[in-house]
Every structure is written in structure tokens, then in C-alpha cells.
Amino acid sequence: MEKPADSFYRQLPKVELHAHLNGSISVATMENLISRKPHLNVQHSMTAIHKGQHRTLGQAFQAFKVIHQLVDTEEDILMVAKAVIGEFAADGVKYLELRSTPREETKTGLTKRMYVETVIEGIRQCKQEGLDIEVRFLVAVDRRNGPQVAMETVKLAEDLMVSSDGVVVGLDLSGDPKVGHGKDFVPALQKAKNCGLKLALHLSEIPSQKEESELLLTLPPDRIGHGTFLHPEVGGSQSLVDKVREKNIPLELCLTSNVKGLSVPSYDKHHFLYWYQLGHPCVLCTDDKGVFSTELSQEYQLAASTFGLSQEAVWTLSQQAISCSFAPGPLKEALSQRWVSLRPQVFR
């Protein structure tokens, strides 16, 4: 797909709310990481799904294992965080919520706290260097690691919410959806919510999670990642749809991720259309721009070309994402103003 630097979609100011740090590493940064660790013998095909390729969810999750081996020191994490933020800024993203799973690496002496503090340091340095992007952080819970680790992660997130000067705003539940059951995470998620962390939960990313989704919706989450199989047409239920609508919970929708990860058969069958036609808040996101070889501008362009959205409709979509963010009120207000002042440039 052609994407000149001045295209409407790149110029469009955008909000990115669903981006996993280690899934968002560009080819250029990956090259750098691979050259730092040649002994790992990593090929690009192991860390990214290129144009026209598909992988099953299980195969795609293998990519993260490889990437985690490449990113295992403070130096790597700082470099990756700054590069990813810089790339989103270059793509016209004005507000970014990054998420990442705190990871310890005994080999390099990395602790989970150091991990998150290093990402926060990357965010600070980008701000200091004057990058035109506001960044906030969601601490991620990987369901693979079970309820006890989830509880420890929530405690770390609570601490960092207080000490990070507003950078840490929420908690994410992610990881291989086939592993574990959501009910085990309810106490940790409830605790996070009680202490003021916003909840962004991967929900119904695969079929057969109806019961789990019903339960997690009682929390309720502040945003839903994917929600691919919530509606009755794909094996979900009307009751799930009604709950999401009643509580007006925004959906983070990642077209390329779902098509390349084979949870949606083709772009035109993506559940974006279902929810968009209901007038429900939908936010286009990348999920893992590195693994899925995409950019947020490309996701907007894909949605527009697939569903016939006018430039005006695309503008409204990007503007509405501000209200779905976990940014504090004054920042939301400032972002809205920014959209107003940038509009003449975009619609030249």
C-alpha cells in the first residue's frame, strides 16, 4: 500500500490505545537488536508476519518468545521504548498508550520493577527531547503466568502509578487467550480497579470465551481489546453485546492483527463494521505494529477503503478516540484543541 509521508492518513492526528511494546518493534530496530546478539541466530521471519502472510494465533505467539530473548537488558528496553515512541510520533500519533509485561531476566539481572522503570525513563526522555507525542503506560498481566503473578503485578502497578507522576494509568490483561481462565484474575483486576488503575482487558479474542467475558464484564473493564467473538453472529451472545453497549465500553479494534492472526477471515468480515454501525465507540489500533508489519495510519487507511469511510468519518473516528483514552481530563481537553488546530492542515 502506497503511503507517502504527506498522505491524509499520516497527517491525520491519531490516538493509539492498544500497542504492546515488544510487538511494536520496527524492522530497523529489530535489525539493530539482532546485530547486538548474533549468537541467537534470529531471522526477521521469526519476529514479523509480512504482507500477505498469515499465522495461527499459536504460531504468532512464538514470535514474542524470540523477541523477548532479543530484548533482555535495560539498555535494550530503553532503546526499544524510545524507538517505538519515535515511530508512532512520526506516523502522526499525538497520544499513545503503550502496554508491556514486566519481565525479569535472571541472566542479565533485570527485575520487573527495573523493566517498567526503564520504559518510563524512555517515555520521559522522549518528552524531554521534545517529541510531539504524549505517552502513558499500562502495566500488562500475562494470563500465562497465573493469578499470583497477576496480584504481584497489580501491586507493582499501584506503586508505580503513585511514583511515575501520572505516566502509569492502567492495567492490561493479555497473553495467549487459550491459556488460563479469566475467573482466576478477578481478584487482581478488582484490586487494580479499586486503587484507581483503569482496566483494558483482552476479551473474546477467540471463540468459546463467552462465560469468561460475561464474568469480566461485571468488573466492568474501562476498555475492551478485540472483542472479536462477542456478538451472536460469530458465536457470542446478545447478552454480551447488550452489556458492552449498556456500559458504553469502548472497543480497541486491530484489523491487521486479527486478519494476519487468522481470528477474522478477511478485512471486510472484521467486526469493526458490526460495532461501528451500532454507533458504539470503536478505536482503531495496531496491537503489534512490528509483528504484524503495520502502522496506525495504515490501519485507518484499511478501515476507510474496506468500509467506504469518508475523510470526514475518518476524522471523527480519530477524534473520538481521545475520549476513550485514559488521559486525565485536562490532557483530553488539550488534545481536543490540538485536533481543532491541526484540522486545516489535514484537509488542505
Ligand X SMILES: CC(C)=CCNc1ncnc2c1ncn2[C@@H]1O[C@H](COP(=O)(O)O)[C@@H](O)[C@H]1O
Binding residues for Zn ion (CB under 5 A) = 287
- Per-position DSSP letters for 100-148, written without gaps between them: E----BTTTTB-HHHHHHHHHHHHHHHHHTT-S-EEEEEEEEEGGGHHH
What lies within 8 Å, CB to CB, of 178 at 6+ separation is 57, 58, 206
Residues 10-69 close enough to bind ligand X by CB under 6 A: 20-23, 57, 60-61, 64
User: Which of 83, 140, 203, 241 is close enough to bind ligand X by CB under 6 A?
Assistant: 140
* Partner interacting with residue 231 (select from ligand X, Zn ion, none; CB below 5-8 Å by kind): none
User: 188 and 152 in contact (C-beta within 8 Å)?
Assistant: no
Binding mask 290-329 toward ligand X (x if CB under 6 A, else -) reads ----------------------------------------
User: Which of 47, 100, 228, 297 is close enough to bind ligand X by CB under 6 A?
Assistant: 100
Residue that has been written with the C-alpha cell 474496506 in this structure: 306
Segment (H or E) for 69: helix 57-70
Residues 240-269 close enough to bind ligand X by CB under 6 A: 257, 261
Can residue 287 be called a binding residue for ligand X (CB under 6 A)? Answer: yes
Considering beta carbons, is residue 85 or 335 the nearer one to ligand X?
85
Name the minimum Å distance from CB 280 to ligand X: 21
Considering beta carbons, is residue 143 or 231 the nearer one to ligand X?
143
User: 172 and 138 in contact (C-beta within 8 Å)?
Assistant: yes
Considering beta carbons, is residue 58 or 328 the nearer one to ligand X?
58
User: Which of 175, 182, 227, 236 is close enough to bind ligand X by CB under 6 A?
Assistant: 175
- Per DSSP, helices labelled H in 129-229 are 146-163, 186-194, 210-216
CA distance 227 to 232: 12
* Cell representation of residue 336: 481536543
What lies within 8 Å, CB to CB, of 52 at 6+ separation is none
CA distances for 300 relative to 18, 255, 341, angstroms: 14, 9, 20
* Partner interacting with residue 60 (select from Zn ion, ligand X, none; CB below 5-8 Å by kind): ligand X
Name the minimum Å distance from CB 35 to ligand X: 21
CA 177 to chain centre: 15
Catalytic machinery residues? 205
User: Which of 87, 205, 212, 222 is close enough to bind ligand X by CB under 6 A?
Assistant: 205
Considering beta carbons, is residue 47 or 101 the nearer one to ligand X?
101
* Partner interacting with residue 319 (select from ligand X, Zn ion, none; CB below 5-8 Å by kind): none
* Partner interacting with residue 101 (select from Zn ion, ligand X, none; CB below 5-8 Å by kind): ligand X
* Partner interacting with residue 14 (select from ligand X, Zn ion, none; CB below 5-8 Å by kind): none
User: 221 and 201 in contact (C-beta within 8 Å)?
Assistant: yes
* Cell representation of residue 270: 472484521
Question: Which of the 8 DSSP states describes residue 34?
Answer: H
Name the minimum Å distance from CB 21 to ligand X: 4
CA distance 209 to 236: 8
Binding site for ligand X (CB under 6 A): 20-23, 57, 60-61, 64, 100-101, 140, 142, 174-175, 202, 205, 257, 261, 287-288
